[in-house]
Chains A and B, each alone.
Chain A
Amino acid sequence: MNYLLRGIGVVAAVGVAGLLAFSMPSGDAHGDGGGNTLPRVTNKNWQQECASCHIAYAPALLPKASWRRLMGGLDQHFGENASLDPATQADILRFLEANAADAGSSSMGRRVMQGMNPNEAPLRITETRWFVRKHDEVSRATWSRKSIGSAANCAACHRQAEQGVFDEDTVRIPK
């Protein structure tokens, strides 16, 4: 009897775990937003973990090789320890790779890849030729304003950055 109960318990546990695994979205694509709007792809862990310190930078802004390098060095993430448990880390990397600039799933990604060497794997979005070209009118003094802090702070000027909107008419550079 005891064994029967225990057996049923195990079967139920495996079943519930399976259901949970399938009900958890690990990357849901809604297609490309076009223009300067990023593809509306999302992943729970990516949003929750990456966005606790900065906006969750869109996967289409760097190639797969960059994301692999970045996620492989989270214990020294631009001078901070951002380490994750292995399962969460693997889930986020899968999402980033599936939607990376060179995954072929977005026009934003194609633009980011233009002029990038195939063996290039920049760690900073701000180092990509695409980013530099797009921001060439912003002076060094502007970047270092207290209200902006650094070029990593997209939302300082791109007021709808959190929603993936980077259109020029949503830009307001703070004083």
Chain B
Amino acid sequence: MIKRAVRIALATLGMASAVAGASDSPASLMAQYAKQAGVPVSALSASRGAALYRTEHPGRNGQAVSCAACHTANPTRAGRTRVGKRIEPLAPAANPQRFTDAAKVEKWFRRNCQDVLQRECSAQEKGDFIAWLSQAR
């Protein structure tokens, strides 16, 4: 009886850890952000996402910054960090690893929205952004 209970407990834990791994997808993240924003997924806008990606903003040191500045104008291409390291493409069509790990996605939104917009991005903006990148070819 106890053995069986332990087995059930371990199996449950195993499933939980599998879920905690990289089991997200662009679609599941869009659904999550839409829900957070209180809108249906259909209200996410790829064109708003594209504008967010391309618009230049005044950076901390006065220089213009945008997502495209490092990720390049074409998100299916590899970008470059300020110190010259390669950034793998952002668009899932070119890099299927993208938007498969919610924690990683949140980490980079937190950092890069601060760098580019000087504030955090809203759930709606995050959803729009993924909506655009998911259809970039």
User: Which A positions have Cβ atoms within 8 angstroms of B?
Assistant: 4-5, 8-9, 12-13, 16, 51, 53-55, 75, 79-85, 148-150, 152-153, 156
Contact = CB atoms under 8 A, between A and B. Distances in A.
Given A12-B9, A83-B110, A153 B115 contact: no
Contact of A156 (B13, B84, B110, B112): B84
Contacts of A148: 84
Given A79-B60, A81-B112, A81-B115, A54 B9 contact: no
A153 B6 contact: no
A75 B112 CA distance: 11
A4 B9 CA distance: 11
B81 A5 contact: no
Given A79-B60, A80-B111, A53 B83 contact: yes
B5 interface: yes
A79 B82 CA distance: 10
Of listed A51, A75, A80, A85, residue having the most chain B CB within 10 A: A80
Contacts of A5: 5, 8-9
A148 B85 CA distance: 11
B23 interface: no
A9 B83 contact: no
Contacts of A153: 83-85
A53 B112 CA distance: 12
Interface string B59-70: 111000000000
A54 B5 contact: no
Interface string B11-27: 01100000000000000
Contacts of A152: 83-84
Contacts of B110: 81, 83
Contacts of B6: 8, 12
A153 B10 CA distance: 46
A4 B77 CA distance: 55
B40 to A, nearest CB: 31
A4 B83 contact: no
25 contacts: A4-B2, A5-B5, A8-B2, A8-B5, A8-B6, A8-B9, A9-B13, A12-B9, A13-B9, A16-B10, A16-B13, A53-B81, A54-B85, A55-B85, A79-B59, A79-B61, A79-B82, A80-B115, A84-B107, A148-B84, A150-B83, A150-B84, A152-B84, A153-B85, A156-B84
